[in-house]
Amino acid sequence: MARRSFSLLKSLTKPTTSFSLTPIPTSRSVTYMPRPGDGTPRAVTLIPGDGIGPLVTNAVEQVMQAMHAPVYFEKYEVHGDMNRIPEEVIESIKNNKVCLKGGLRTPVGGGVSSLNVSLRKELDLYASLVNCFNLPGLPTRHENVDIVVIRENTEGEYAGLEHEVVPGVVESLKVITKFCSERIAKYAFEYAYLNNRKTVTAVHKANIMKLADGLFLESCREVAKKYPSIKYTEIIVDNCCMQLVSKPEQFDVMVTPNLYGNLVANTAAGIAGGTGVMPGGNVGADYAVFEQGASAGNVGKEKMVELKKANPVALLLSSAMMLRHLQFPSFADRLETAVKHVISEGKCRTKDLGGDSTTQEVVDAVIANLD
């Protein structure tokens, strides 16, 4: 729009002397003015986790060290087959306020409860955020995809309220509350407002679950009234999935109950380039845990671990999100720029992105591109 306006003005005024516009440098934004003491290194709880987790968290450690980023890690061994998260780990996160973690393997069917879910409930990390976007140089079926999926993280089908009524009959309860629905809606609209996003779409199944999803929608509508500058829309979850795979560029910020958000985020990630490149995190009023954005494949296959060819990009970008959360924006910019340059160049890519590079080769390439 600015170029068209300038061209029209030029034709109307017909200047007699020619001139050229001086290129505006883009390498550095308006300076970030820290408060005294903001450069003090911050402790971050680190949970390598299972499967590819130790590989990709080690990648982050190497890059942070190469950047001389003002963070240091308190590392704890936690695995998905544990009965519970050790108390010292919870205390570390509560003290540090921030955690970076790899995936924790969750048994399918029987076995212990998901420690991923337990951690979110223990710390009241009620908002999950996954950013699904096209990376320059990475070919995908759709272009101009830039979707942020904000998912309620503490209730819904993940409430864990299941029991066997009689042999052969199991009842699983879906819990939706006005309190949790309102606060996730507020977070979604606040995120949109602070990040200059234009639209928030609520995903639901209120045509069938009229009371539960109806309450979620009612809460979203009430919050939407407080943000008149942001467009608010609603979409039924099955139509949402169809629209995502056919025209994903229409979506901006999406706010969802718990289960739908998991499905929508993984679908959007697959459309935009794969789960190996999508960053994300979980946040509450007091604490934040950053991890690979989409859950599918965050533990990986044993063969990938043996060959050491896990894709570290998603967790590297998640750690850039973490650096911004810690108010270290220049380090976040450097890391994100280096990762995007490596992807765009195309020389070092793991198998999921069409290459054959190892995790370490990608890490070395990212470090080499740090400015």
Q: What is the pLDDT of residue 11?
A: 41
In whole angstroms, what is the distance from residue 150 CA to residue 83 CA? 29
Residues 259 and 345 in one domain: no
Identify the domain boundary among 237, 272, 307: 272
> Greater confidence, 125 or 10?
125
> Greater confidence, 62 or 371?
62
In whole angstroms, what is the distance from residue 75 CA to residue 326 CA? 18
At residue 142, the 3 state secondary structure works out as coil
In whole angstroms, what is the distance from residue 237 CA to residue 107 CA? 27
| Residue 260, in any domain of the structure | yes
Residues 147 and 258 in one domain: yes
pLDDT tens, residue by residue, 292-324: 998 777 787 888 899 999 999 999 999 999 999
Residues 168 and 88 in one domain: no
| Residue 24, in any domain of the structure | no
Identify the domain boundary among 272, 299, 326: 272
Residues 301 and 178 in one domain: no
pLDDT for residue 19 is more than 50: no
Tokens of 136: 């320059």
Q: Are 202 and 216 in contact (CB under 8 A)?
A: yes
Beta-carbon contacts of 230 under 8 Å, excluding residues fewer than 6 positions away, are 189, 192, 193, 197, 198, 199, 200, 224
Residue-averaged pLDDT of the chain: 90
| Residue 16, in any domain of the structure | no
pLDDT tens, residue by residue, 188-212: 999 999 999 999 999 999 999 999 9
Residues 80 and 152 in one domain: no
pTM of the model: 0.89
In whole angstroms, what is the distance from residue 85 CA to residue 211 CA? 34
The band of 106, judged by pLDDT with boundaries at 50, 70 and 90, is confident
Compute the average pLDDT of residues 125-150.
95
| Residue 20, in any domain of the structure | no
In whole angstroms, what is the distance from residue 351 CA to residue 108 CA? 26
In whole angstroms, what is the distance from residue 34 CA to residue 14 CA? 46
Residues 188 and 103 in one domain: no
Tokens of 155: 């209730």
Domain that holds residue 97: 41-131+275-370
Identify the domain boundary among 220, 250, 272: 272
Q: What is the pLDDT of residue 108?
A: 77
What is the distance, to the nearest Å, from the Cα of residue 117 to the centroid of all Cα atoms in its chain?
16
The band of 272, judged by pLDDT with boundaries at 50, 70 and 90, is very high
| Residue 110, in any domain of the structure | yes
Tokens of 367: 């470090």
Q: Are 359 and 91 in contact (CB under 8 A)?
A: no
Residues 228 and 316 in one domain: no
Residues 254 and 284 in one domain: no
Furthest-apart CA pair in the chain: how many Å?
90
| Residue 153, in any domain of the structure | yes
Q: What stretches of 165-301 show up as alpha helix (H) in DSSP?
A: 178-194, 212-224, 237-246, 258-272
Give the chain's domain count. Answer: 2
- Percent above pLDDT 70 for the chain: 91
Beta-carbon contacts of 24 under 8 Å, excluding residues fewer than 6 positions away, are none
In whole angstroms, what is the distance from residue 251 CA to residue 234 CA? 11
Weakest-pLDDT range from 34-38, 40-44, 349-353: 34-38
pLDDT for residue 249 is more than 60: yes
Residues 265 and 285 in one domain: no
Residues 145 and 264 in one domain: yes
| Residue 310, in any domain of the structure | yes
Q: What is the pLDDT of residue 4?
A: 42
Compute the average pLDDT of residues 217-239.
97
Burial of residue 31 (number of CB atoms within 10 Å: 0-12, 13-18, 19+): exposed
Residues 258 and 280 in one domain: no
Compute the average pLDDT of residues 103-127.
86
| Residue 124, in any domain of the structure | yes
What is the distance, to the nearest Å, from the Cα of residue 14 to the centroid of all Cα atoms in its chain?
50
CATH number at residue 115: 3.40.718.10
Weakest-pLDDT range from 48-62, 124-138, 287-301: 287-301
Residues 242 and 328 in one domain: no
